[in-house]
Amino acid sequence: MGKLGVSIYPERSTFEKDKEYLDLAHKYGFKRVFTSLLEINGDKEEVLAGFKKPVDYANSLGMEVMVDINPALFEQLGVSYDDLSFFDEMGAYGVRLDLGFTGAEEAKMTRNPYGIKIEINMSQGTNYVDNIMSYSPNTENLLGSHNFYPMRYSGLSLEHFKYCTEKFNRYNLNTMAFVNSHSATFGPWPFNDGLASLEMHRDLSVATQVKHLKLMGGIDDISIGNAYASEAELKEMAEAFFSAEPVIKVVTTSEITENERIVLFESEHSYRGDRSEYILRSTMTRVWHKDKEFPATNTPNIKRGDVLIGNVNFGQYKGETQIALKDMENLGQINVVGRISDDELFLLDYLQPWSSFKMVEVAK
């Protein structure tokens, strides 16, 4: 099972606020903590002192702190890639290399005596990971994580994200991506318009971002890039992440009946395996609810994303739940009872035959 994470930036906040946030995250089952040493001014002792308190507190909660660094910082702090004692003293679970070395150094770092994890940048699209693997790293200590992007329109394209992720999946390395909170106001840098890995995620709710990453596959852990997410966001993110199946948001029509609500929202749905290009069929609802009445109510022509239930005119298909994958003519046998919420319509492309899912009613 993967892990959820949050980010803290001690140099831009206070220990009290970080502590309160870590407590909240811990309450909802978050395990990872990301923090950044990229923007540090000061000597080694000052850096250790400023970071050690929140790191120690996160450790006391059983959380794992990953510290973002780059080669210039090694020099600034007098730290060497073959001596990671500085990070061990700090209490770090691992270090994330924002910019890497040549491959040999990263491999050597994975063989450190402290068991410190080495997390490398997944977003470059080069043969960087292949190069590291050629130096026989300890793969138990080698992780990957995508970058996050504070500038709107600069985040990763879906195609590039998948391409980079597959490179790491080939080696069965642990992977992580960042999602964006809409309550959070800051990150490690002065400018911040959200902090997601995927550009298409920037304006989506955290739960929808998580559902997408889970349905896509290839990503083990998911962290919020910016601070501080609200308690409501942490809760909905945890629910989406730990849910056994995706829960898709549906906006109902005004004509929906109580029986139709029961069919949609009190049933576990299963995507029938002999798939059609026009409809996703959840056929068992017609068996479970065969004795209920489904009069013909709202039967306009059908658009992609419409949620449908067979009405009394549909013979053996009465009570069957369907989701339209294409626009179709309606011959009066199918009630249009709702629509997949606009922001989750794209998730239809990721539901697979034989998979199960649930639906939840939301306001438009």
Closest by CA to 69, choosing from 33, 119, 122, is: 119
Same domain, yes or no, for 237 and 258? no
Long-range contacts of 289-295 (CB under 8 A, 24+ apart): 289/259, 289/262, 289/263, 289/319, 290/318, 290/319, 292/259, 292/262, 292/263, 292/319, 293/259, 294/257, 294/259, 294/260, 294/318, 294/319, 294/335, 295/257
Same domain, yes or no, for 231 and 276? no
What whole-number distance in Å separates Cα of residue 212 and Cα of residue 197? 13
What whole-number distance in Å separates Cα of residue 77 and Cα of residue 92? 15
Average pLDDT score over residue span 174-198: 96
* Model pLDDT for residues 83-114, shown as the tens digit of each residue: 999 999 999 999 999 888 889 999 999 999 99
Which of 32-41, 76-85, 144-153, 231-240 is the least confident region? 32-41
Average pLDDT score over residue span 73-81: 83
Tell me, what CATH number does 126's domain have? 3.20.20.70
* Model pLDDT for residues 280-298, shown as the tens digit of each residue: 999 999 999 999 999 999 9
Tell me, what CATH number does 261's domain have? 2.40.100.10
What whole-number distance in Å separates Cα of residue 301 and Cα of residue 291? 27
Spatial contact of 358 and 269, defined as CB atoms under 8 Å apart = yes
What whole-number distance in Å separates Cα of residue 191 and Cα of residue 12? 13
Q: Residue 350: is the preceding peptide bond cis (ω within 30°)?
A: no
Which of residues 243, 260, 291 is at a domain's end? 243
Closest by CA to 8, choosing from 32, 43, 42, is: 32
Same domain, yes or no, for 160 and 182? yes
Average pLDDT score over residue span 200-215: 98
Same domain, yes or no, for 153 and 63? yes
% of the chain beyond a pLDDT of 70: 98
Same domain, yes or no, for 324 and 278? yes
Same domain, yes or no, for 158 and 189? yes
Which of residues 209, 243, 277 is at a domain's end? 243
* Amino acid (1-letter code) at residue 264: L
Q: What are phi and psi of 237, to 5 degrees?
A: -65, -45
| Dihedral-angle region of residue 62 (phi above 0 means left; psi in -120 to 50 means alpha; beta otherwise) | left
Alpha-carbon distances of 275 from 58, 170, 217, 270, 288, rounded to whole Å:
47, 29, 21, 12, 21
DSSP one-letter string for 118-145? EEEE--S-SSHHHHHHTT---GGGEEEE
Q: How many residues does the chain have?
A: 364
What whole-number distance in Å separates Cα of residue 324 and Cα of residue 278? 6
What's the domain count of the chain? 2
pLDDT of residue 265: 98
* Model pLDDT for residues 35-72, shown as the tens digit of each residue: 998 656 666 677 778 889 999 999 999 999 999 988 78
At residue 144, does pLDDT exceed 80? yes
Average pLDDT score over residue span 181-186: 98
What whole-number distance in Å separates Cα of residue 294 and Cα of residue 319? 7
Same domain, yes or no, for 337 and 304? yes
Residues in CB range of 113: below 8 A, 6 or more apart: none
What whole-number distance in Å separates Cα of residue 83 and Cα of residue 91? 15
| Strand pairing class (117-121; 94-97) | parallel
pLDDT of residue 101: 86
Helix (H, G, I), strand (E, B) or coil at 15: helix
% of the chain beyond a pLDDT of 90: 88
What whole-number distance in Å separates Cα of residue 98 and Cα of residue 147? 8
Same domain, yes or no, for 119 and 267? no
Structural domain that includes position 238: 4-243
Distance of CA 12 to the CA centre of its chain: 25
With bands split at pLDDT 50, 70 and 90, how would you rate the model's confidence at 191? Answer: very high
Average pLDDT score over residue span 180-197: 96
Same domain, yes or no, for 223 and 120? yes
Same domain, yes or no, for 318 and 184? no
Spatial contact of 85 and 109, defined as CB atoms under 8 Å apart = no
Which of residues 210, 243, 276 is at a domain's end? 243
At residue 364, does pLDDT exceed 90? no
Same domain, yes or no, for 109 and 23? yes
Produce one character per residue of 157-177: b if its CB has 16 or more CB atoms within 10 Å, e if not. eeeebeebbebbbeeebbbbb
Same domain, yes or no, for 100 and 210? yes
